[in-house]
Amino acid sequence: MELNSVNQPRLLKHAVVYGAIMSVCTVFLTLVAYKLSIATLVTIKFALVGFLISATITVIAGIDFRKKSGGYLEYSRAYVYCFTVMAIAGFFSTVFNEVYYNLVNPAFGEEFSEAFADNMEGILRLFNAPDDAIDESIEEIRTETPKQFTPGGLAFGYVKGLIAYAIVSLILAIFVKKSKPVDIEIKTT
């Protein structure tokens, strides 16, 4: 199916829509988990669920973009699309976090730090870490983690996230790409 460039969706416009959808989903998930128990936010299970939701939305968005672009999408364009969706979602989420953590709920950073410290202490005890190492780790968590929720900490987290998005997009683009079939003429003599 050949489409001219007028009929093809614009990558950025399409990515903004799905980036906003992903951001709303992840913000909603975070707020629900926070209301249930802040301890939920510091678990590996929560991180995995958030990652799977983001990856699924990115692949669904990419496949939709591919279909609207004529049914085929080279790997390089699929990669750019996946990265753009994730970067936009990360940006929207960071803006929400800036407002929520610094204006609506300024105590969140301290609450999260305490929950994270408790969770990490349990993990360290599970692995029989020495008490002095546990105390040192917990103290560092309690002093350093709240800094991640400041405006500068959130902005730096977004920049670090861009690196993660770039790596994850390399993998997700594999599921989105679809090359045009190669027509080979076979001459018979």
The count of other CB atoms within 10 Å of the CB of residue 73 is: 24
Q: What are phi and psi of 72, to 5 degrees?
A: -130, 145
- Number of structural domains (the chain) is 1
Q: How far apart are CA 135 and CA 116, in angstroms?
A: 14
Q: How far apart are CA 99 and CA 113, in angstroms?
A: 19
The count of other CB atoms within 10 Å of the CB of residue 139 is: 11
In a domain, 161, yes or no: yes
In a domain, 70, yes or no: yes
pLDDT in tens for each of the 189 residues of the chain?
A: 444 454 456 999 999 999 999 999 999 999 999 999 988 988 889 999 999 999 999 999 999 999 999 999 999 999 999 999 999 999 999 999 999 998 999 998 889 999 999 988 989 888 988 999 889 999 998 899 989 999 999 999 999 999 999 999 999 999 999 998 887 777 776
In a domain, 4, yes or no: no
In a domain, 93, yes or no: yes
Report the b/e string of 143-152 with b at 16+ CB within 10 A.
Answer: eebbebbeee
In a domain, 88, yes or no: yes
Q: How far apart are CA 125 and CA 128, in angstroms?
A: 5
pTM given for the model: 0.85
Tokens of 160: 């670090």
What is the domain extent for residue 74? Answer: 11-176
Look at residues 132, 137, 108 and name the one whose alpha carbon lies nearest to residue 121.
Answer: 137
